Structure 1
Amino acid sequence: MFRYYDIGHAEVFIFDDFLIKQVREGAIVDQEETEEFKIILKEHFNEKNMAYISNRVFSYSVNPLVYKEAEKIPNLVAIAVIPSNEKTRASAKYESQFYDRPFGIFDNLSEAIEWVQKIIQRENSELSVENA
């Protein structure tokens, strides 16, 4: 079961521990978009570890400084990107330099989901040990 949002420039699919976002062709992801993202996160993942999966089906621009804002979200434990071509893969590699938490680039959605679930499970285990 998942929740679906159409937020104009993107579609967001919310699952238990992660979300998948598909930004529309030609959009620009910047600070304003990050604020919208935070609202969705607070509603669905308040104080619960989660991951973000970017399914890059279309071509769009990302201001890499949004990753510094994303680092301020304490329960966002990983970002996964699924590029649709080599140009998008190169952009994702560049963007990864701006994010100091786990950042993975994958060939398909299944690989990305498997990876983020491992990261979330590890983070939740570490949190359980700290709280024991």
Structure 2
Amino acid sequence: MLEIYYGDKKGKTRMCTGAAISAALKKKNVLMVSFGADYEDYSELFEIAPHITRLTLPANAGVREYFDHAARIAMTFRYSVLILDGVFDSVEKQQLSISEVYEFLSNAPDSLEIICTGQRVQERFLKIADEIVELKKG
């Protein structure tokens, strides 16, 4: 299942965090991968949620290598939920190729729930999404 949260309004990271905590309460293992989002506001919640694993981009790492690393971890089948917070922003900045992200998302196992976010999303991603939430200012 692929869910996409996008738009120019704030709240996408908060929605991802809520989805992660909800899944963790159901004892599902969650991998949260941040492509620029700041989870500091939620650090205390994550400390009491042992089913959530968080990855953040190291300062000296490349975005492409980071994405590949996260994808390999997600494919170990230890996780039920994968959150790629800000991944579409990395595509927009051309740090990740559209085809690389599309290939991963379209070939991911059906057993893995994937949530992706970004301000803008290319049409090809919207076509393969099972659920789309657009957050608009105003």
TM-score grouping bracket, smaller chain normalisation: 0.3 to 0.5
TM-score by length of 1: 0.40
- Work out which structure has the larger RCO, using CA pairs closer than 8 Å and 6 or more positions apart in sequence: 2
TM-score by length of 2: 0.38
Structure number with the higher strand fraction is 1
